[in-house]
Amino acid sequence: MSPSDALLATTIREESGRLVTALYRRFGDFDVAEEAVQGAVAEAVTSWRRDGTPRNPAAWLTTAAQRNALDLLRSRGRQARVTDRLAATYDEEAPTAVGEDPDDRLPLLFACCHPALAPEVRLALTLRAVIGLTTPQIARAFLVNEQTLAQRIVRAKRKIVATGIDLKVPDDLDERLPDVLAVVYLAYNEAFVASTGSTHDRDLGADAVWLAEVVARSLPDRAEAWGLAALLTIQHGRAASRFTPNGDLVLLRDQDRSRWDAAAFKRATEHLERAASLHAPGPYQLQAAIAMCHAEAPSWAETDWLQIVALYGFLIREDPSPVVRLNGAIALAQLGERQAATALADVETLAPQLAGYHLWHATRAELLRLAGRDAEAADADRQALELTTNDAERRLIQTRLRKHPLTDGS
């Protein structure tokens, strides 16, 4: 990313959500507001690269988005008189960046993550409306078909308009916040898995961390919001060492820990302390605490596995999902031979739920190998290979299969 592209990306990220909210408040049409901002983002990408960055990028975006909104309203032929009247007042108003309060992105976020929208479209809509990603960028980041994605987004926006989903922070925050946090979590993790270290024109991981922090700062008394911000900050602090320059995946145990971002870990510690002070533990805080154990360990061997196993105990109580139990088993196996055998037994019990999940097979392979059952381990790795859709993960398993040739002569 060139410096001007980086400035473009951060300006778009800072301003998009606010502009959508402001234009929605002004014109009362979410679809128009969102399209207008997307249009302005597209114009900015072309124009700023061609003519250089404007002196006040935020004002530039605001002006372009406002003009687009008026054009859209005119072309849709509705409220023609209202539009003209508004247009007249615009000429008198100096274009100012709208809304300085970080809270003004929150109502938009809650609308994009509304339970009336299908879960699979909430992430895409959030990335477009709140962060200002374009549909092609989202399609590339998540390896999905661009046209299908575009149609889904259009349908979701129409539903927001037609059903009267307002942009507001809901009264039943306890019920709705988990949906929002889940989308922010996905924004990071989907990008993490899909990314093979190749350069995108936006750093989606950084965007997700930023969004998690926006949510936490806007809802400072919500422990899980801080927990998620801490978790993503730690994960992002380790991102640089997750891939080799060739895009090969590096497992945690083999990562170059000198490349981890100590400043990010410090910020994450502050987030976690903030969360802990609220005395409302939850799954994100526990995951962050586990991630922090890894972040603080000088090496895989010197990791405080006992602590991690204890934290997994709490986490499984909060969230007994098979994937969490799988990860807990991996930690348990590090404590010693006897515990590794228990871990393998635990993993075997998850077969009914996870037999279609490549990481279940990959984990099982590792534990079988620890137990000296190399032939079965190779079989499990082969199953994992068959099930993974991710290139980097596929290469990793292939390497492992080469390192551990079959010893039974087959």
- Write out the residues near another protein by the rule CB under 8 A: 78, 114-116, 162-166, 168, 170-172
Q: Specify the residue for token string 């945690």.
A: 252
Report the 10 Å Cβ neighbour count for 89: 8
Q: How far is the CB of 163 from another protein (least distance, A)?
A: 5
Residue 168: CB minimum distance to another protein, A: 7
Task: Closer to another protein by CB, 162 or 301: give it.
Answer: 162
- Nearer to another protein (CB atom), residue 116 or residue 375: 116
Residue placing its CB nearer to another protein in the complex, 114 or 242: 114
CB closer to another protein out of 95 and 170: 170
Q: CB-wise, 179 or 261, nearer to another protein?
A: 179
Output the smallest distance, CB 30 to another protein, in A.
12
The CA distance from 339 to 332, in Å, is: 6
Identify the CA nearest to 4 among candidates 62, 42, 49, 44. Answer: 49
Least CB distance to another protein at residue 164 (A): 4
Q: What is the Cα–Cα distance from 242 to 28, expressed in whole angstroms?
A: 44
The Cα–Cα gap between 347 and 328 comes to 10
Report the chain's terminal Cα–Cα distance, integer Å: 49
For another protein, the closer of residues 49 and 78 by Cβ is: 78
Farthest CA pair distance, the chain: 83
Question: Shortest Cβ distance from residue 110 to another protein (Å)?
Answer: 9
CA–CA gap between residue 43 and residue 12 (Å, rounded): 11
Instruction: Name the minimum Å distance from CB 160 to another protein.
Output: 9
Q: Which is nearer to another protein, 79 or 390 (CB)?
A: 79
How far is residue 41 from each of residues 11, 49, 168, 239, measured CA to CA in Å? 10, 12, 24, 27
> How far apart, in whole angstroms, are the C-alpha atoms of residue 39 and residue 36?
5
Q: What is the DSSP letter of 240?
A: G
Shortest Å, Cβ 24 to another protein: 13
Q: Please, what is the minimum distance in Å from the beta carbon of residue 171 to another protein?
A: 8
By C-beta, is 17 or 107 nearer to another protein?
A: 107
State how far the alpha carbon of 181 is from the alpha carbons of 185, 311, 360, 388, 394, in Å.
Answer: 6, 21, 25, 26, 29
CA gap 140, 195 in Å, rounded: 9
